[in-house]
Each structure stands twice: as structure tokens, then as C-alpha cells.
Structure 1
Amino acid sequence: MSRVLLVEDEELNRVLVRAIISRAEPPAVRGLDLLEAGSLADARDALAAEPVDVVLLDVNLPDGNGLELAAELAEAPARPTVIALTASVLPHERAAAMAAGCDAFLDKPYAAADLVTILATHLS
């Protein structure tokens, strides 16, 4: 079973991701183990406790910029896939996310099918 860490400070967005995953058609997505963190500090704690396969990473968090965590993970020996989920969609913001070590970028608001597709792609 794949393990995914959702780093998102907005509870409503976490609820939405949980609902999308629970209804996803691909078994790899529907059956994944979803961990959640509401801040960079919580994300770092979760990652120190157990490895994950994918990090769904909000960029604008209350205790810093999610791209800091993406850059840290880019240097990790057992590096998870990092997917930026953000409303910051200008070309230079997308380029900054990719330069920080993100593997993919999904802009908010996103369609449920887009989240499922990107997860299925990176979990296979």
C-alpha cells in the first residue's frame, strides 16, 4: 500500500482530498494510506516518523513556504515524489516549484479527475 502525505493548512481542502481519494476509481489511489499535516512543522514530524511515497504539498503554509520542504526532500536519500498543490499559478511560481524539487504541479482549484490522474501516475 502506498503512503501519501498531504501537507495542507486548510481543513476544507484536506476534506476534499480525502473525499476524492475515497471515491477514486484506480485501486492504487483509492487504497492509499493518507497522512495529513497542517503545517511545515507537522509535515517534518510526519516525514521523520515514517517514509512516504508521495507528498501533496501546499506552497503557502502558516509557518513558511512549502517549497522549503520540497528543497529539503530533494536532498533526501529516500526521496518521495513531491506534487505542489497551489493557487500560485504564474509561470515564475511554477518554475520556482520545479526548481525547488517538485516533480509535478497541480493548480488550485483542480478537478478531482486531475488529482486522481496525477496520483495514479506517480504511484505506479
Structure 2
Amino acid sequence: MQQYAATAPSHNATCLIIEDSQFDQQMMSRVIDRSQGKMRVEVAATLQSARKALAVGKISLILLDNNLPDGVGAEFALELASDPNLSSIPVIMVSDWPTPFMWEKAASAGVLYVVNKAEFGVRYVEQAMRSGLHKRPMLT
């Protein structure tokens, strides 16, 4: 699991990026870096490593790809939603090709946004952090 710490966080917030592409990991890290919250970033390239990160640390926000080497992000979002210890963490799915099937699962799991990677930006992160525990599906 990688950690990016380009900026000092203004508080103890941590964003977990679950993405196997290093290019997309860096893109998402730069978006987090530009957000007003200045969170620490942890990166997991697989769902297995994401589960380990969630078991060890307090995560404030999850950015989740749908196609991962060991599973499907939308299924993982449902797993998170069914866990009382993790269900309050805001989740944004950032995917190359959001499909209607993925959007349906994401909505069932309380995912805040499903966003195409090309359109992902600071506004989604800041809105997710403002929403906090008030998870409402907002699919774009």
C-alpha cells in the first residue's frame, strides 16, 4: 500500500484511494491535494489491501474504482454499506466507463457519486466531505 503526503493535512482526515492504475492513483491524489480539506492519502491497488487499510486506520473518504484485480468496486461498496463500522464513510466511485448496472449497485450502497475519471475533480471531494455522514446517492 502506498501513501502520498504531498501536503501536510490540516486535520487527521485520510482519503483511501482504491485504484490499481498508478496513473489514476496520482491523478486522484492531485485532486485530493487541491481540495480545501488537505487530507492525507493512502492508496490500495486491490480490495484485499483496501480491507487491511480500513481495518487499521480511520478513513474519512474512499475513492473507488470499479474494475480491480481482485473484484468489482460496486460489490465492495455494497460490502462497505453492510458493515456498521464502515457504512458511514463517504464513497465516490471513479471509473473509466460507468455502466447503468454499476450506478444501480452504487445507489444501493449509498455511494455519493459515480464519476467518469475524466470528469473527476475537487468539487466532488469537497461535496463528499461536506455531506459526511449524510450519505445520499448523487449519481452524475
TM-score by length of 1: 0.84
CA distance in 1, matches of 2:76, 2:105: 13
CA distance in 2, matches of 1:97, 1:87: 15
What's the secondary structure of 2:118's corresponding residue?
coil
1:45-95 Cα deviation digits (max 9, x unpaired): 000011211110001000111122211111222320111111232333322
1:96 deviates by 2.4
User: Which residue in 2 is equivalent to 1:106?
Assistant: 115
| C-alpha contact (below 8 Å) 1:37/1:43 kept by paired residues | yes
User: Which residue in 2 is equivalent to 1:38?
Assistant: 45
Question: Do residues 94 (structure 1) and 103 (structure 2) align?
Answer: yes
Bigger share in helix: 1
Q: Which has the higher contact order (CA 8 A, sep 6+)?
A: 1
Gaps (5+ residues) in structure 2?
A: 1-10, 131-140
CA distance in 2, matches of 1:39, 1:85: 15
Paired residue total: 117
What's the secondary structure of 1:84's corresponding residue?
strand
| C-alpha contact (below 8 Å) 1:85/1:108 kept by paired residues | yes
User: Which residue in 2 is equivalent to 1:118?
Assistant: 124
TM-score by length of 2: 0.75
Pick the aligned partner of 1:14 from 25, 29, 37: 25
Letter of the 1:42 counterpart: S
User: Which residue in 1 is equivalent to 2:138?
Assistant: none
Gaps (5+ residues) in structure 1?
A: none
- Flag the 1:88–1:97 CA change in 2: closer, same or farther, 3 A: farther
| C-alpha contact (below 8 Å) 2:20/2:69 kept by paired residues | yes
| C-alpha contact (below 8 Å) 1:84/1:102 kept by paired residues | yes
User: Which residue in 1 is equivalent to 2:136?
Assistant: none
